[in-house]
């Protein structure tokens, strides 16, 4: 069968996406595809172009390398725009003189920056913001410039302004013709608030300003405006909108819109049925869709129709959420419904810089659209509510304010949602679906997952699913016990006490005494961790080795591809040159990728499981010990330079960090523990974002607890001030032991505190005032653990029996897994990415 020949004109994001979609749908040898691109690079991510100034390379932004086209049999001509289409002969001619025949053409020529005809636009120092080349020229020119300006206060203009700031041009003006910023996406009040935020960052915003002339000899020096004012400028970026690239289409007689754009129908066909247009060059029902999602949808439509499917483009929701110079900006549905056609609820907090607006239908039942600035956390839920016409709650202001009833924050958020609210957006599962599943008997998260699929995508909604399950069961009068899993009808705290009282030392003993069945991947690590927290035995002792979580079992973190990372402890981040050299030598000998971690130590990645004991022998011989990066245990105690070197330092934070890290090293706990010590209130060690943090004062140390970085940052609470070192350690012993005894599995200290009845006051009372009368016991228990500490890796290095488990093949122990593949990146290796 003769192949159908498709010529794709344009190799931007949408042009590439079309190729990708066509390849995934096509049968082998169904199509011959030839691509012509004007730029010298294959398609790259133009949406994140600004990341180019944050250190991303052109390669990082690439959608797919030249190899991809080669492997898929696509002929790719770069730096060679198509100049002519002969629709009668069905051939095209390119700039470099290539002639190709075609069965179909897909025009994906995109758009160009719209440059208004202002006298002087041709001067040096005037740029547009569209391609990597533009950005390279901007970057090359920037060191010469001190005063910058951007024409255009829309999305792209503000991106360009951020780029100027990133390039060190702190004196930058944004010039907008309209009375306000982002006039197409947000309303006046929103614009005003956004403007305030941007001005606080150092930008000067001129609205209602029409540029008449760009002045200067050869290069720009001044901009003159219609209101008789002017500013000195030595670099200008024009970002005043886009114009569709329809030149080739126009030349061959295809129908184009009055203000540009190639006219297409629902199948993305132009008036010639053999020529399609997609992306920003296409004009559908008088509209150019300048976002990436509708562009991809158009690519999908053409790819589907060419491969025998039936699909139509029916317009596209232009809702959008983005971060502009660190400020959340979102608009959805119809953001501008006039006040006489809708009820409008507005929430504004100028102190925090938050503006929220929702437009509600006059009958109060439907959400029509809205705007979020400064805090767009509710965007997804609002968008779902708007798109699905979900009936609104009685107090629709709750949508943007959250429920403000008497209940605690924990469950109220979920229970307040309407039944139609989308909980799992990966699988489109609503609250009603989940509650129904619970009523039908799915009374564990696992069961809910398997019968509804909720939580099986990104997993982000699992805590909500669990809350919903608990709430639904309680509402049905069922006793909800916070149990570990189907094998143990106890909470972690109960299991901890039972294991302690029974002096149980292995997982099987605990399961036989207090559980049923054969255990699972949930209860095994929980019990293994409890046993380690109680007795501090070697965790790989026979019987407990296979109950450890996967990383604990190999005393290393499994990484993509199945290799492991090696993280020796570097207490307080202090390391001698000799030890640094040893790390370098080992990394070279075993070809390991090296990276400095956020916790002030050095990660060595890409070790084969069989090499781990040998690598650790070298490390142990050089005086290193395990860093427990693989365990739910103390990770690092970060420190600033401290008073030994720093001219501001009040106390020696490094020595104290080392003392603390060495005291609690290897301490197994319900979740990982991070800590830091800062030598003064400048807080360079970021102690207030840690599970426990210590900051030097004139008189001693301040102790902070239950902070968190990660996905839900939380500041730590100050629980005691001006302590001497011994008292601080006493308090820490109590705090950590109390956490270990009472927290649920995989609960960080911050979450533990959030769930604690009585909150920080209660915790303070237990730790400082010994309100439960257990302080002595807690301190003694901690001292036992501290005294029983041994380096796990040293024990493995000294034990041939333990080393036996570190091989990939049981029947060929010396052979490594042949499927592990590496490639190189910035002079180091990286694992070949998974699909």
Partner 1 sequence: MSELKSTKVNWFYACEASDVPENGGVCVKHGDDQIALFNFTRRGEWYATQNMCPHRQQMAISRGMIGSQEDEPKVACPFHKKTFSLKSGACMSGDDYQLKTYPVKIEDGKIFIDVK
173 binding partner 1? (CB under 8 A): no
Question: By CB under 8 A, is residue 328 in contact with partner 1?
Answer: no
Count of residues interacting with partner 1 (CB under 8 A)? 44
CB 559, min distance to partner 1, A: 10
Q: Which is nearer to partner 1, 226 or 832 (CB)?
A: 832
Using the minimum distance from each CB to partner 1, give the nearer residue, 153 or 519. 519
Distances (CA, A) of 742 to 400, 598, 650: 35, 28, 35
Q: Which residues contact 488 (CB under 8 A, 6 or more apart)?
A: 495, 511, 514, 515, 523, 527
Measured distance CA(384)–CA(302) in Å, rounded: 27
Told to check if 632 binds partner 1 by CB under 8 A, we report no
Say how far apart CA 68 and CA 33 lie, in whole Å: 13
| Chain Cα centroid distance, residue 831 | 20
Q: Which is nearer to partner 1, 761 or 815 (CB)?
A: 815
Would you tell me how many other CB atoms lie within 10 Å of the CB of residue 57? 11
Q: Does 805 bind partner 1 (CB under 8 A)?
A: yes
Q: How far is the CB of 560 from partner 1 (least distance, A)?
A: 8
Instruction: Please state, in angstroms and rounded to a whole number, the distance separating the CA atoms of residues 394 and 405.
Output: 13
In the complex, the smallest distance separating the C-beta of residue 818 from partner 1, rounded to whole angstroms, is 8
Rounded CA-CA distance 250/829 in Å is: 49
Shortest distance in whole angstroms from residue 275 CB to partner 1: 39
For 255, counting Cβ atoms within 10 Å of its Cβ (0-12 exposed, 13-18 middle, 19+ buried), the class is: middle
Q: Tell me the backbone φ, ψ of residue 209, rounded to 5 degrees.
A: -120, 125
Would you say 11 or 452 has its CB closer to partner 1? 452
Which one of 812, 823, 824, 827 is in contact with partner 1 (CB under 8 A)? 812
3-state secondary structure of 719: strand
Would you tell me the crossing angle of helices 431-439 and 445-452 to the nearest 10 degrees? 120
Q: Which of 415, 529 has the CB closer to partner 1?
A: 529
Residue among 357 and 492 whose Cβ is closer to partner 1: 492
Of 89-97, 109-117, 765-773, 818-826: span binding partner 1 (CB under 8 A):
818-826
One residue of 817, 822, 828, 830 binding partner 1 per CB under 8 A: 817
258 contributes a contact to partner 1 by CB under 8 A:
no
Closest CB to partner 1 among 224 and 453? 453
**Shortest separation between residue 522's beta carbon and partner 1, angstroms:** 8
Task: Give Cβ neighbours of residue 800 (< 8 Å, ≥ 6 apart).
Answer: none
Does 243 interact with partner 1 (rule: CB under 8 A)?
Answer: no
Site for partner 1 in 407-466 (CB under 8 A): 446, 449-450, 453, 456
Per CB under 8 A, 769 contacts partner 1 = no
Shortest spacing between CB 507 and partner 1, in angstroms: 8
Task: Decide: is 606 part of the binding site for partner 1 (CB under 8 A).
Answer: no
Tell me the C-alpha distance between 526 and 744, whole Å: 9
- For residue 419, give the 3-state DSSP assignment: coil
Q: Are 539 and 528 in contact (CB under 8 A)?
A: yes
Across-strand partners of 348? 355
Closest approach of Cβ 615 to partner 1, in Å?
18
The CA R_g of the chain, rounded to the nearest whole Å, is 31
555: left (phi over 0), alpha (psi -120 to 50) or beta: left
Q: Which is nearer to partner 1, 308 or 543 (CB)?
A: 543
Establish if 810 lies at the interface with partner 1 (CB under 8 A): yes
Copy the structure tokens of residue 111. 């758009």
Distance, in Å, from the CA atom of 376 to the CA atom of 374, rounded to the nearest integer, reads 7
**CB 810 → partner 1: shortest distance, Å?**
4
Residue 450 and residue 456: Cα distance in Å, rounded?
Answer: 8
**Mapping DSSP to helix (H, G, I), strand (E, B) and coil, where does residue 493 land?**
helix
**Minimum separation from the CB atom of position 444 to partner 1 (A):** 10
- Give the span between the Cα atoms of 288 and 243, in whole angstroms: 9
CB of 813 to partner 1, least distance (A): 9
3-state secondary structure of 185: coil
Which residue, 88 or 819, has its beta carbon nearer to partner 1? 819
CB closer to partner 1, 97 vs 834: 834
Considering the complex, what minimum distance in angstroms separates the CB of residue 557 from partner 1? 10
* Residue among 486 and 537 whose Cβ is closer to partner 1: 486
Minimum Å gap between C-beta 181 and partner 1 is 43
Question: How far is it, in rounded angstroms, from Cα 51 to Cα 795?
Answer: 46
226 vs 458, which CB is nearer to partner 1? 458
Give CA–CA dist 486/515, Å, rounded: 9
What angle, rounded to 10 degrees, do the helices at 431-439 and 462-475 form? 50
Could you give the CA distance from residue 561 to residue 821 in angstroms, rounded to a whole number? 8
| Per-residue binder mask for partner 1 (CB under 8 A), 532-571, x = binder | ----------xx-xxx-xxx-xx---x-xxx---------
Q: What is the nearest approach in angstroms of partner 1 to the Cβ of residue 286?
A: 43
- The minimum distance between CB 631 and partner 1, in angstroms, equals 14
Binding mask 491-530 for partner 1 (x = CB under 8 A): -----------------x--x-----xxxxx-xxx-----
In whole angstroms, give the CA distance from residue 72 to residue 428.
33
State the CB neighbour count (10 A cutoff) for residue 101: 12
CA-based nearest residue to 185, from 348, 318, 41, 60? 318
Spatial separation of the C-alpha atoms in residues 127 and 151, rounded to whole Å: 10
What mask of x and - would describe binding to partner 1 in positions 120 to 159, judged by CB under 8 A?
Answer: ----------------------------------------
Positions 650 through 709 that interact with partner 1 (CB under 8 A): none
CB of 497 to partner 1, least distance (A): 23
- φ/ψ of 248, rounded to 5, equals -65, -40
Give the bridge partners for 517, in sequence order: none
* CB closer to partner 1, 516 vs 588: 516
Q: Which residues bind partner 1 (CB under 8 A)?
A: 446, 449-450, 453, 456, 486-487, 508, 511, 517-521, 523-525, 542-543, 545-547, 549-551, 553-554, 558, 560-562, 805, 808-812, 815, 817-820, 834-835
């Amino acid at each position: 069968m003769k192949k159908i020949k498709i010529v794709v004109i344009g190799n931007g994001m949408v042009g590439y996406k079309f190729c990708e979609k066509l390849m995934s749908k096509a049968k082998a040898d169904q199509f011959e595809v030839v691509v012509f691109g004007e730029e010298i690079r294959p398609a790259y991510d133009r949406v994140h172009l600004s990341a180019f100034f944050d250190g991303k390379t052109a390669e990082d932004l690439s959608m797919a390398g030249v190899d991809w086209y080669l492997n898929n049999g696509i002929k790719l001509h770069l730096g060679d725009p198509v100049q002519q289409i002969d629709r009668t002969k069905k051939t095209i001619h390119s700039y470099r003189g290539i002639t190709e025949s075609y069965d179909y053409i897909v025009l994906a020529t995109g758009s160009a920056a719209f440059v208004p005809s202002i006298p002087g636009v041709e001067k040096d120092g005037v740029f547009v913001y569209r391609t990597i080349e533009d950005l390279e020229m901007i970057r090359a020119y920037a060191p010469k410039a001190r005063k910058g300006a951007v024409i255009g206060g829309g999305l792209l203009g503000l991106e360009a302004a951020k780029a100027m700031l990133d390039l060190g041009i702190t004196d930058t003006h944004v010039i907008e013709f309209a009375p306000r910023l982002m006039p197409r996406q947000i309303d006046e009040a929103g614009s005003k608030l956004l403007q305030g935020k941007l001005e606080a960052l150092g930008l000067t915003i001129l609205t209602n300003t029409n540029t008449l002339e760009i002045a200067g000899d050869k290069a720009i020096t001044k901009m003159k405006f219609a209101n008789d004012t002017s500013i000195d400028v030595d670099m200008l970026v024009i970002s005043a909108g886009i114009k569709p690239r329809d030149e080739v289409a126009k030349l061959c007689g295809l129908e184009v819109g009055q203000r540009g754009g190639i006219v297409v129908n629902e199948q993305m066909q132009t008036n010639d049925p053999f020529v399609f247009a997609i992306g920003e060059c296409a004009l559908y029902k008088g509209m150019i869709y300048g976002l990436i999602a509708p562009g991809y949808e158009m690519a999908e439509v053409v790819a589907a129709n060419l491969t025998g499917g039936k699909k139509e483009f029916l317009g596209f929701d232009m809702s959008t959420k983005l971060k502009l110079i660190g400020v959340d900006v979102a608009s959805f549905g119809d953001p501008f419904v006039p006040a006489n056609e809708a009820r409008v609820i507005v929430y504004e907090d100028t102190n925090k810089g938050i503006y929220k607006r929702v437009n509600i239908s006059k009958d109060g039942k439907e959400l029509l659209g809205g705007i979020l600035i400064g805090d767009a956390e509710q965007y997804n839920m609002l968008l779902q509510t708007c798109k699905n016409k979900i009936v609104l709650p009685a107090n629709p202001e709750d949508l943007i304010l959250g429920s403000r009833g008497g209940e605690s924050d924990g469950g109220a958020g979920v229970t307040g949602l309407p039944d139609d609210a989308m909980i799992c957006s990966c699988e489109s599962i609503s609250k009603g679906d989940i509650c129904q599943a619970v009523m039908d008997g799915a009374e564990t998260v696992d069961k809910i997952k398997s019968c509804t699929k909720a939580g099986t995508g990104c997993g982000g909604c699992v805590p909500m699913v669990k809350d919903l399950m608990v709430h639904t069961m309680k509402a049905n009068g069922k006793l909800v016990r916070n149990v570990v899993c189907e094998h143990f009808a106890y909470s972690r705290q109960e299991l901890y006490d039972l294991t302690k009282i029974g002096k149980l030392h292995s997982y099987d003993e605990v399961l036989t005494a207090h559980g049923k069945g054969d255990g699972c991947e949930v209860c095994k690590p929980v019990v293994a961790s409890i046993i380690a927290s109680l007795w501090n035995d070697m965790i790989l002792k026979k019987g407990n080795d296979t109950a450890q979580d996967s990383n604990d079992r190999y005393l290393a973190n499994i990484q993509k591809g199945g290799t492991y990372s090696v993280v020796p402890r570097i207490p307080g981040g202090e390391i001698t040159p000799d030890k640094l050299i040893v790390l370098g030598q080992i990394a070279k000998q075993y070809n390991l990728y090296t990276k400095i971690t956020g916790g002030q130590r050095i990660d060595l990645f890409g070790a084969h499981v069989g090499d781990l004991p040998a690598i650790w022998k070298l490390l142990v011989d050089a005086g290193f010990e395990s860093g427990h990066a693989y365990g739910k245990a103390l990770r690092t105690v970060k420190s600033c330079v401290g008073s030994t070197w720093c001219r501001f330092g009040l106390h020696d934070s490094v020595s104290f960090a080392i003392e603390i890290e060495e005291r609690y090293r290897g301490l197994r706990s319900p979740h990982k523990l991070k800590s830091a010590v800062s030598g003064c209130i400048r807080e360079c060690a970021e102690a207030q974002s840690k599970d426990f943090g210590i900051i030097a004062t004139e008189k001693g140390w301040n102790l902070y607890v239950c902070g968190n970085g990660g996905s839900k940052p939380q500041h730590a609470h100050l629980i005691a001030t001006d302590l001497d070192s011994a008292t601080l350690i006493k308090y820490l012993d109590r705090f950590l032991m109390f956490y270990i005894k009472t927290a649920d599995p995989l609960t960080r200290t911050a979450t533990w505190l959030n769930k604690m009845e009585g909150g920080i006051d209660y915790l303070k009372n237990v730790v400082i005032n010994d309100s439960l009368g257990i302080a002595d016991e807690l301190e003694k228990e901690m001292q036992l653990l501290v005294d029983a500490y041994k380096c796990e890796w040293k024990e493995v290095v000294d034990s041939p029996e333990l080393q036996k488990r570190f091989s990939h093949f049981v029947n060929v122990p010396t052979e490594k897994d042949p499927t592990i593949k590496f490639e190189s990146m910035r002079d180091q290796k990286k694992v070949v990415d998974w699909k």
